[in-house]
A and B are shown apart, each in its own frame.
Chain A
Amino acid sequence: DSGVTQTPKHLITATGQRVTLRCSPRSGDLSVYWYQQSLDQGLQFLIQYYNGEERAKGNILERFSAQQFPDLHSELNLSSLELGDSALYFCASSVVQGPHNEQFFGPGTRLTVL
């Protein structure tokens, strides 16, 4: 158990809908990362927050947004969902930011868009 929690574990929804994925980092970790794992794209970095501020962005679609709250939990919002958004979404956290830090991953949220 990495100490990172994600809810829900599974989510099934329809095209055009909006969903929110939630992540609680390990106690004391200030940095949160979101990654998407799909069969065609593999594991892709989406976005990073550090102590409430956005710090780095990957190939995140405009339909997706995220935020990190004062209690350091983070939410990833996905809207106008398409079939291709079906994937496993991981949240990871690290103590501080910086490429030397290990990122500890949560169990993921499996999103299925029908």
Chain B
Amino acid sequence: AQKVTQAQTEISVVEKEDVTLDCVYETRDTTYYLFWYKQPPSGELVFLIRRNSFDEQNEISGRYSWNFQKSTSSFNFTITASQVVDSAVYFCALSLDMEYGNKLVFGAGTILRVKS
């Protein structure tokens, strides 16, 4: 099966706490791509990061960092010093090649609530 599991349905933290969102994926492909998207209360889906399967370097962008571990099929997302504006639903997705096209397979999402 090719799927994405986000086991944490909802996480609540207090502002300035660090929080890690877990993502575990399954794929039979040797080359694949992983994405994180953010869905704020306004509803749109905002692209955050793309990672390919042959680049295991961790990535940091401001308060955001991503840890990709092929050995455990995980692509976790950490927000440092969380802020109220980080409150959103976060989706991890696996990008799959299809015969003539491609698609994203999303996890169920993790609701992050950051309280002031």
A interface residues with partner B (beta carbon < 8 Å)? 2, 31, 33, 35, 42-45, 48, 50, 55-56, 58, 88, 90, 92, 97-108, 110
Cα A88 to Cα B44 in complex, Å, equals: 10
Among B85-116, those with CB < 8 Å from A are 91, 95-109
Known interface pairs A56-B101, A106-B44; A99-B106 also in contact (CB < 8 Å) = no
**B57, chain A: closest CB distance, angstroms:** 16
From B15-23, B45-53, B59-67, give the one contacting chain A: B45-53
The interface residues of chain B lying within 8 Å CB-to-CB of A92 are 45, 104
Q: Is the interface of A mostly helix, strand, loop or mixed?
A: strand
List the A residue with the shortest CB-CB distance to B103.
A45
- Contacts from B to A (Cβ < 8 Å): 32-33, 35, 37, 42-47, 50, 52, 91, 95-109
Q: A42-B108, A102-B35, A102-B50 are in contact. Are A97 and B45 (CB under 8 A)?
A: no
Closest to B45 in A: A105
Contact: B43 with A58, CB < 8 Å? no
Beta-carbon contact of A104 and B47 below 8 Å: yes
Contact of B33 among A56, A100, A106, A108 (CB under 8 A): A100
Chain A residues positioned under 8 Å from B107 (CB to CB): 42
Let me know if B43 and A56 touch, CB within 8 A: no
A108 to B46, CA, bound (A): 12
